């Protein structure tokens, strides 16, 4: 289902009440506000009434208010690293990797033993 993405580009100050009513019916109250309406003749007719004031695009889905806000945000400039899932070993995994993991395991065991001793 596709939607009209309607942006109020020009204000309706001083225009007839009918025009302002159409904008209110579309849910547009301030300039550069964005609303989404399904592609139907009913909404197309409303857009025709205010075609000089709005910018219209056809989009596949309607964005939520949160998504719209996020799309306007500048990039944060940093990112938080997340722990990556460990590589699972199995019979199909490469022998090199297996060997490397086996080499690591005794070290870990020795480390845990050392910690126990400290305690």
Partner 1 sequence: MFGPFRITNSLSGGLLWKIPWRLSPTQKARQRKRLRAVDQVVETLSNALAKKGETLKALERWKAEMPTEAQMLPRDKYTMFDRKAKRYRKGIHKLPKWTRVSQRINPPGF
- Is residue 23 a contact residue for partner 1 (CB under 8 A)? no
In which residue are the tokens 């939520």 written? 64
Residues in the chain: 119
Count the site residues for partner 1 by CB under 8 A.
22
CA atoms of 99 and 89, how far apart (whole Å): 10
Interface with partner 1 (CB under 8 A), residue from 20, 33, 47, 68: 47
Q: Which residue stretch of 26-34, 41-49, 92-100, 106-114 sits at the interface with partner 1 (rule: CB under 8 A)?
A: 41-49
- Is residue 41 a contact residue for partner 1 (CB under 8 A)? yes
Task: List the interface residues with partner 1, window 87-116 (CB under 8 A).
Answer: none
- Is residue 45 a contact residue for partner 1 (CB under 8 A)? yes
Q: Do residues 28 and 54 make contact, with C-beta atoms less than 8 angstroms apart?
A: yes
Q: Do residues 91 and 34 make contact, with C-beta atoms less than 8 angstroms apart?
A: no
Helix%, strand%, coil% for the chain, nearest 5: 45, 15, 45
Q: Which is nearer to partner 1, 31 or 98 (CB)?
A: 31
Q: Which is nearer to partner 1, 45 or 87 (CB)?
A: 45
The secondary element (H helix, E strand) that includes residue 36 is strand 34-38
- Is residue 52 a contact residue for partner 1 (CB under 8 A)? yes
């Amino acid at each position: 289902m596709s939607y009209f993405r309607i942006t109020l580009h020009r204000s309706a100050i001083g225009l007839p009440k009918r025009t302002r009513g159409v904008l209110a019916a579309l849910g547009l109250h301030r300039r550069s506000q964005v609303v989404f309406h399904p592609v139907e003749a009913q909404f197309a007719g409303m857009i025709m009434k205010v075609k000089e004031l709005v910018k219209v695009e056809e989009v596949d889905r309607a964005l939520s208010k949160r998504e719209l806000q996020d799309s306007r945000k500048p990039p944060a400039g940093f990112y938080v690293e997340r722990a990556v899932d460990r590589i699972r070993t199995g019979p199909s995994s490469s022998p090199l990797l297996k060997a490397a993991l086996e080499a690591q395991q005794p070290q870990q065991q020795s480390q845990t033993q050392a910690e126990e001793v400290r305690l």
